[in-house]
Chain A
């Protein structure tokens, strides 16, 4: 008897650089999505639309035989973004990940409708809304390789904690952070400096 049971590789090569890519301004996308959720801001939505719609259209053109269907995917995906933005949690993953899952789900349901003539929209059952949670926590931990450091960061004053987390854990640049937090670059730099001094002091004490 033969078995073709195959095991997963023990780890997927996990390239950190994919977390925050230079060519995608994640902080900005996240911010727009937040503005859509909190302020129902049409300007922010328009920015998101111009970033994502052409890409979604191109991706779905490869999955559907005709243009009308790929338009439907764009229309549906972006409508869902508008109506579900409040379900996006920036602490749990990137806006690109969230919008990708919305697009993937819309595509899946439309393909199923075409193939099986079923409009049961199963995608949200198959891929529950938030998947990013586990990975994000893990990524933080192995990035820092030090649970202790995380604990110490938690003891920082709120203003410094924000900057340290953005810089080290979300790998945002100081400029992105200034933009994201709506603060002058100088403030970001000095907060980071203060926080680092405090962290060094604390970790030094603990390690003695």
Chain B
């Protein structure tokens, strides 16, 4: 059962459209698997919509007419005429399903990711990583696959690290994480996730990992590899 959900502030920013695409997708992926969050998102959207269009009602009635007409470039009537000239109707594209194969296992991707361009897969030991081509500067989003028995050596983060479990499970010293879990960590955390039976994760991070333990320090270059 899913135990880890995005916190309220994050859902709120998501509903407002204020999060970067990568984090918004993380929440959509989680919501696809979590009816509880789906419902919270729907309720919050309804409330935000209501207050967006209502808060200004009085103001609009008293001042906006003068307001908008002083803005000479904004001509309501011609915009209406333009828009209604079009006889076009938009249809919703039929959802396509997209799969991805790591080693010998094939996974169906969450709907949100169907149109996203993926980079080439890179492999190091039991880890495989494919980057999403989202172009968000220092924020990197990837699909990370851990083969059975594999793990990520103990590390810290300089920024944040989001992991959404798409399939399989992994554990660290805090416990087990299962399919659908939404795990947001920030700078202060050191952890060392191990996947007994293998897993596929969606990850977003805004800086490289930093490995902290003995010989693993030699691995610091792969911090850049993973996230």
* A residues neighboring B (CB under 8 Å): 1-9, 12, 14-15, 18-19, 21, 23-24, 40, 42, 45-46, 49-55, 57-59, 67-68, 71, 74-75, 78-80, 82-84, 86-87, 93-94, 96-97, 99-101, 104-105, 107-108, 111-112, 116-118, 120, 122-123, 125-129, 131-136, 138-139
Contact = CB atoms under 8 A, between A and B. Distances in A.
A8 B38 contact: no
Interface of B: 4-8, 11, 15-17, 21, 24-25, 28, 35, 37-54, 56-58, 60, 64, 67-68, 71, 73-74, 76, 79-80, 83-84, 86-90, 92, 111-116, 134-137, 173-174, 183-186, 188-191
A171 B26 CA distance: 35
Contact of B7 (A7, A55, A96, A135): A7
Nearest 5 Cβ contacts at the A-B interface: A100-B49, A135-B42, A6-B7, A97-B49, A104-B17
27 contacts: A1-B190, A1-B191, A5-B174, A6-B7, A8-B5, A18-B47, A18-B51, A24-B50, A24-B57, A42-B84, A51-B53, A54-B67, A57-B74, A59-B52, A75-B79, A84-B90, A93-B42, A96-B49, A101-B49, A108-B17, A125-B113, A127-B28, A128-B28, A132-B45, A133-B42, A135-B39, A135-B46
Contacts of B188: 2, 4
A71 B87 CA distance: 22
Contacts of A3: 174, 185, 189
Contact of A2 (B50, B51, B112, B189): B189
A74 B79 contact: yes
A96 B57 CA distance: 13
B175 to A, nearest CB: 10
Contacts, number: 192
Interface residue SS majority, chain A: helix
Given A24-B50, A24-B57, A83 B43 contact: no
A3 B193 CA distance: 13
B17 A134 contact: no
A4 B113 CA distance: 27
Contact of A131 (B41, B54, B58): B41
Given A8-B5, A78-B79, A125-B114, A94 B64 contact: no
Contacts of A21: 50, 54
A100 B74 contact: no
Given A4-B189, A125-B112, A12 B67 contact: no
B80 A49 contact: yes
A133 B46 CA distance: 11
B80 A45 contact: yes
Given A96-B54, A100-B49, A108-B17, 11 more contacts: A2-B189, A5-B183, A54-B56, A58-B56, A71-B73, A99-B53, A128-B111, A132-B45, A134-B42, A135-B42, A138-B39
